[in-house]
Structure 1
Amino acid sequence: MNSEPSVYHKRRHAARTTDEYLFHQLVPYLGNKRRLLHLILEALEITGTLNSKKKNPPIFADFFAGSGVVSRLARQNGYRVIANDWEPYSHALNHAILACVDAPAFKELGGYQKAIDYLNRLPEVKGWVTHNLCPRNDDVYDPTRDRLFFKRRNGMRIDAIRQQIATWQAQGAINDVEMSALLAPLLYSASFVSNTSGVFKSFHQGWGGRTQTALERIESLLWLTPSRFCEIGDRKRPAAEMWCVDSQHLANQMSGFEVDVAYLDPPYNQHAYSSNYHVLNALTLWDQVDLPSPDTKGYKSGIDRAWRKERPSPYNSSKHAKDAYEKLLSTINARYILTSYSTDGNIEPKDLLMANLERGKVTLLTQDVPRYRVSKQRQSERARVLEFIVITDTHAKSGPPLRQLLGQLYHFAELGGVDTSGNSTQLALW
């Protein structure tokens, strides 16, 4: 097992260039824990499950997997991983990367690299992406009547590649894991060349935004490179079990057996991931929904209204987040429950800590991090926010009381000059 601290270095671990499994082709993601992996490792050390000497590897259940970086960390350190996220794009990003010890075989296509090479050589096709997410003309466009998510050439490349993957699936030439191994590089590459700051709730009004600092990235040619896999585990069985369900449903399904570690990283604020990453969901599902024109009220970004209505998360609501978390926490059957949260979240730290104290002994780890902001050029009056991990030992009942835990939390915040008002904006993720 590799228990060395996994400290993220922006240059060395750039998702597009690094060969390291932990950081390779990580999509830009709100709430991404890549900068807090060392803190999560410290939490795992406290549980005593890291570097376990037991015959069977400890089970790590990630209920809100997102980009998959924490599940990758667990895989890299020898845990048997159960990874779940409600969003289809997350399942596509993580299925093969977490479940496979080696690259999938792709027997029908001559191997993984040959499949990737074939997709990269496809002629461009005008399809759903080109018609719905690209302007009619890259040089002469109207942001009120055109969507500017991709340059037309990249839109046509995405159309060609995604349609070929769908064709292979329909022909039975690829299985579900192999499909994920193709979709993951496509979703990452589409994110990389997108005319956004990392989320798809909106696009820049011109190519590269007001400062055009991202123009080189946006104008680069979409190109797939194979995913990396973690060579730790038993080659005779999947290294991870994948789910794509509501977190409460997963907790209900798993209530009959105790996992070693349950990791919770629920959404913090009102911004729904299904909206922020709707383009990735569209590419994953490939249902090619008929979208109204961009000048239709409520459809400028192309977010399907039916999707928004059918998939609200209680964690995006300050009214419902606390109740949803308490219900989930009370249902989970785990020796240790780790919760990542922020002083910016919809759930008050006091309420979150009280809920965990109901389950067992609580230990806190804290770190201040840069506040999310819309762009690197826009400064915030409150530049830092406090991230913390709640470690709950459900087999122990005696521990620090609520007052002491809150004192620890806010004392650290005051030392770091951290704002705890709960106001935040969005980070430029690239």
Structure 2
Amino acid sequence: MSAEQPQAVYHKRKHAARTTDEYLFHQLVPYLGNKRRLLHLILEALEMTGTLNPDYQQKRAPIFADFFAGSGVVSRLARQNGYRVIANDWEPYSHALNHAVLANTVAPEFKQLGGYQKAIDYLNRLPLAKGWVTHNLCPRNDEEYDPAKDRLFFKRRNGMRIDAIRQQIAIWQSEGAIDDVEMSALLAPLLYSASFVSNTSGVFKSFHHGWGGKTQTALERIESLLWLTPSRFSDKGDLKQPMAEMWCVDAQHLANQMSHFEVDVAYLDPPYNQHAYSSNYHVLNSLTLWDQLDLPSPDTKGFKSGIDRAWRKERPSLYNSSKYAKDAYEKLLETVNARFILTSYSTDGNISATDLLKANLARGKVTLLTQDVPRYRVSKQRQSERARVLEFIVITDTHAKSGPPLRQLLAQLYHYAELGGVDTSGVSSQLALW
């Protein structure tokens, strides 16, 4: 076991994304489905595969393919434990967040700008500038606003700082002063900082109708000055070659492209429910692409949050649909070429535990790891009849065919759900069928 592995246990105060220096947790955007609280379980799953064994890694670094990378925290875990990473997510902001911090063992050189820190310092010193963010995502007046006619994603000062910084990054890119990795090393801190000062509960599908919401518990964060700090990098790996390969495509497309060679570990963490990430994080996509779309005014029907129609209609994943999620997952699982396939899922997801397990049993021997966790709530004031859900990891060894049957695996889920105070009605009804 490496010396860094204990960091996989997340501590809220110690590993606050804004203040920690630890690579694994530094500047992680607040993200639905973020696996930072389950990293110890994922690490346990990796240990069970044997791919963490020094003897296994002696000849070459094992390959870890993350098909739904999101915030990138699981790929970071793989990076710092010696894997070469293939990280994919079809949301552009994910590519921006992850490219530099996964591929590099040290900060990019920024030769034309005098180094990474100097580039960050220059951006932080820029004068305020009114641009797309200020006009579209900020109110006309911070003190006298109308939630029906204004968008309140950012205070105007921070909106103007985002505009100034993002426009300067675009200028450097157009002049050839930065390459793609350096671009990511600048965008990642900007996206994190914009998320931190946003007048939201972590997602951009809506904003608080007043600074800090009804309780104003987040007012200090929202009113703080947007400020960039450099990303952190893992020194694990070869300094002479990138330790990660980045993709920004549909997961099925990536599986098709990679079907001719076997990776050591494939990690699947598809969306669980109907909420599309393209809508939840449309502001981060806009800052990444910097397409500066003309948005209708906030009082235009259907455009309160400024979500472009293309993000709403064309970008939802098949996994967001209870009708299509099962078939999409089965097709992906059939295509993925890996010795071990790890799937993170929940008893609260669009795919039933029975269907998920049956699909994996068709690929090989299945083992389960489980942990009950609090159900996500946008507001602490909103209570749920089912306060907890059961998260589980399906570990499938595609080179082994004998293992626990479906009924035994379902019984295991039911047992741990009951122990964790999780609603067991869905699992118990499936268990009764078997």
- TM normalised by structure 2 equals 0.96
Q: Is the 8 A contact 2:108 2:116 kept in 1?
A: yes
Matched letter for residue 284 of structure 2: L
- Contact map agreement 2:7 2:24 (CA 8 A) in 1: no
CA-to-aligned-CA distance 1:31-53 (integer Å, 9 cap, x gap): 00000000000000110001332
CA deviation digits over 1:181-235, x for unaligned, max 9?
A: 0000000000000000000000000000000000000000000000000001101
How far apart, CA to CA, are the structure 2 residues paired with 1:286 and 1:315?
Answer: 27
CA distance in 2: counterparts of 1:228 and 1:263, whole angstroms: 23
Partner of 1:425: none
For structure 1, which segment, 45-54 or 400-409, has the greater mean C-alpha deviation from structure 2 after superposition?
45-54
For 1:323, the aligned partner's letter is D
Write out aligned runs for 1:295-334 (5 A): 295-334=299-338
| Partner SS state of residue 8, structure 2 | coil
2:85 equivalent to 1:81 = yes
Partner of 1:339: 343
* Residue in structure 1 matched with residue 430 of structure 2 by the alignment: none
1:54-65 mapped onto 2 (5 Å cutoff):
54-65=58-69
Q: Distance in 2 between matches of 1:98 and 1:51?
A: 22
Describe how 1:128-167 pairs up with structure 2 within 5 A: 128-167=132-171
Q: Which residue identity does 1:278 align to in structure 2?
A: H
In the alignment, the residues of structure 2 paired with residue 261 and residue 387 of structure 1 have an alpha-carbon distance, to the nearest angstrom, of 20
Partner-residue secondary structure (3-state), 1:229: coil
2:8 corresponding residue in structure 1: 6
C-alpha separation in 1, matches of 2:78 and 2:143: 46
Residue among 30, 33, 40 paired with 2:35: 33
Cα deviation code 1:99-150 (max 9, x no counterpart)? 0000000000000000000000000000000000000000000001000000
Instruction: Return the offset for 1:322.
Output: 0.2
* Alignment-mate amino acid for residue 257 of structure 1: F
Q: 1:85, 1:244 within 8 Å by CA — same for their partners in 2?
A: yes
Q: Which residue of 1 aligns with 2:429?
A: none
Gap regions ≥5 residues in structure 2: 427-434
Select which of 353, 368, 373 maps to 2:372.
368
1:98 maps to which of 88, 102, 105: 102
Please list the CA deviations of residues 354-407 of structure 1 after superposition, one character each: whole Å capped at 9, or x if unmatched.
Answer: 000000000000000011112123222221100000000000000000000000
Counterpart Cα distance in 2 of 1:314 and 1:121: 43
Of 255, 262, 266 in structure 1, the residue corresponding to residue 259 of structure 2 is: 255
CA contact (8 A) 2:277 2:316 kept: no
Q: Which amino acid aligns with 2:126?
A: L
* 1:114 and 2:118 matched: yes
TM-score (norm 1): 0.97
Residue 163 (structure 1) shift: 0.2
Select which of 159, 170, 195 maps to 2:199.
195
SS in 1 for 2:371: strand
Equivalent position amino acid for 1:224 in 2 = L
Q: What RMSD, in angstroms, separates the aligned Cα atoms of the two structures?
A: 0.9
Alignment partners' CA distance in 2, 1:147 and 1:3: 43
Question: Residue 346 of structure 1 aligns to which amino acid in structure 2?
Answer: N
**Do the aligned residues in 2 keep the contact of 1:344 with 1:420 (CA within 8 Å)?**
no
Q: In structure 1, how many angstroms separate the alpha carbons of the residues matched to 2:261 and 2:6?
A: 30
How many angstroms apart in 2 are the aligned matches of 1:273 and 1:388? 21
**Contact 2:103–2:245 (CA under 8 A) maintained in structure 1:** yes
Q: CA deviation at 1:268?
A: 0.2
Residues 186-335 of structure 1 mapped to structure 2, 5 A cutoff: 186-335=190-339
Structure 1: runs of 5 or more not aligned: 423-430
Q: Does 1:48 align with 2:50?
A: yes
1:361 and 1:396 in contact (8 A); partners too: yes
User: In 2, Cα distance between the equivalents of 1:311 and 1:213?
Assistant: 33
**Alpha-carbon distance in 2 for matches of 1:230, 1:51:** 20
Task: Indicate if the aligned counterparts of 1:385 and 1:420 stay in contact, CA closer than 8 A.
Answer: no
Q: Percent identity?
A: 87
The answer for the alignment partner of 2:131 in structure 1 is 127
Aligned-residue offset at 1:5 = 5.9
8 Å CA contact 1:199–1:277 kept in 2: the answer is yes
Look up the SS of the partner of 1:263 in the other structure: strand
Deviation at 1:307, TM superposition (A): 2.4
In the TM superposition, residue 421 of structure 1 has moved relative to its aligned partner by 5.9
Q: Give the superposition deviation at 1:415.
A: 1.5
One of 397, 401, 414 as aligned partner of 2:401: 397
Measured in 1, the distance between the counterparts of 2:314 and 2:279 equals 12
- Tell me if the contact between 2:148 and 2:298 (Cα under 8 Å) persists in the aligned partners: yes
Work out the CA distance in 1 between the residues paired with 2:340 and 2:147: 50
Which amino acid in structure 1 is aligned with residue 134 of structure 2? T
Is this contact kept in 1: 2:23–2:234, CA < 8 A? yes
Deviations 1:250-275 (A, max 9, x none): 00000000000000000000000000
* Contact 2:418/2:424 (8 A) holds in 1: no
Displacement of 1:420:
4.4
Give the letter for the 2:16 counterpart.
A
CA contact (8 A) 1:71 1:83 kept: yes
Cα distance change of structure 1 residues 153 and 5 upon mapping to structure 2, 3 Å threshold = closer
Which whole-Å CA distance do the structure 2 matches of 1:227 and 1:187 have between them?
11
Q: Which amino acid aligns with 1:67?
A: S
Pairing partner for 1:18 from 10, 17, 20? 20
